[in-house]
Structure 1
Amino acid sequence: MTRHWTPLALVYLCLAVVGLVGTWFFNVLAIVQLRDFLGDLVTSGPAVSSISVDLLVVALAGSVFVIVEARRLGMRFGWLYVAGSALTAFAFTFPLFLAMRERRKTQLAFAVE
């Protein structure tokens, strides 16, 4: 079973953990400070708005990729990665999906042999 964890899958898994911890640190900080999270994204100036739009477009493109790639590889419940990003962060769910995708590709390669 452990043979499916390739070095690339482990790198993606580490990035998922960094994404989860990094984003949730600031989410908790915003909650403790009683900040208007969505309002801050839009009204904190053009640079923040630019980054917000940039990341939103990347997250949407990544979400399409996750759903299409999960179907292509026969990964069940691929849509949960997209839905989970609303509860955690896309910085967590996308690298997590990439790690699971690497595992699936390795499983499929071993199945052919």
Structure 2
Amino acid sequence: MATKSTLTQHWNATSITFLVLSILGLLGTLAFNVSAVASGRDFFGDWFGSGPAVGSLGVDLLIVALAGSVLIIVEARRLGMKRAWLYIVLSAVTAFAFTFPLFLAMRERRLVALSMG
């Protein structure tokens, strides 16, 4: 009976979906962040100072990122995942749209591994 290689082991449709979303989050936010820096924009000033709708979006995303960060820590501890704090640190220098789906992909892989014994 053939065995899966270590590289592809524990990847299922759900973990692959989260990984694809993570990559899209990284590329999508990277494009806008590079554009903002290249044009010399005040990143946080634009985010929170460009009107109530943009401010509302900023607060919305901040609260979701905080709740997601709590989930990352709690779930990682529950499942015995190491270095979960790196997802939160990486979100500060990349984007939560990248790190949260990446965590969900790795979480799904861990759940598959635990179910296999």
Q: TM-score range by the shorter chain?
A: over 0.9
SS at match of 1:27: helix
Residues 1:75 and 2:89 aligned together: no
In 1, distance between residues paired with 2:112 and 2:34? 37
Q: After the TM superposition, which parts of structure 1 deviate over 4 Å for at least 4 consecutive aligned residues?
A: none
Mapped to 2, the partners of 1:60 and 1:25 lie a distance apart of 23
The answer to whether residue 110 in structure 2 is matched with residue 107 in structure 1 is no
1:42 is aligned to 2:43: no
- Superposition RMSD on alpha carbons, in Å? 0.6
Q: Deviations over 1:61-93 (max 9, x none)?
A: 000000000000000001110111001000000
Count the aligned residue pairs.
111
Equivalent residue for 2:3? none
The two structures have a TM-score, normalised by structure 1, of 0.96
Alpha-carbon distance in structure 2 between the residues aligned to 1:96 and 1:53: 22
Q: What one-letter code is carried by the residue in structure 1 that aligns with 2:27?
A: V
- 1:8 aligned partner: 14
State the partner residue of 2:96.
90
Kindly provide the CA deviation profile for residues 27-79 of structure 1, in whole angstroms up to 9, marking residues without a partner as x: 00001110000110111000000000001000000000000000000000011
Quick one: percent identity of the two aligned structures?
Answer: 60
TM-score by length of 2: 0.93
Q: Distance in 1 between matches of 2:77 and 2:89?
A: 16
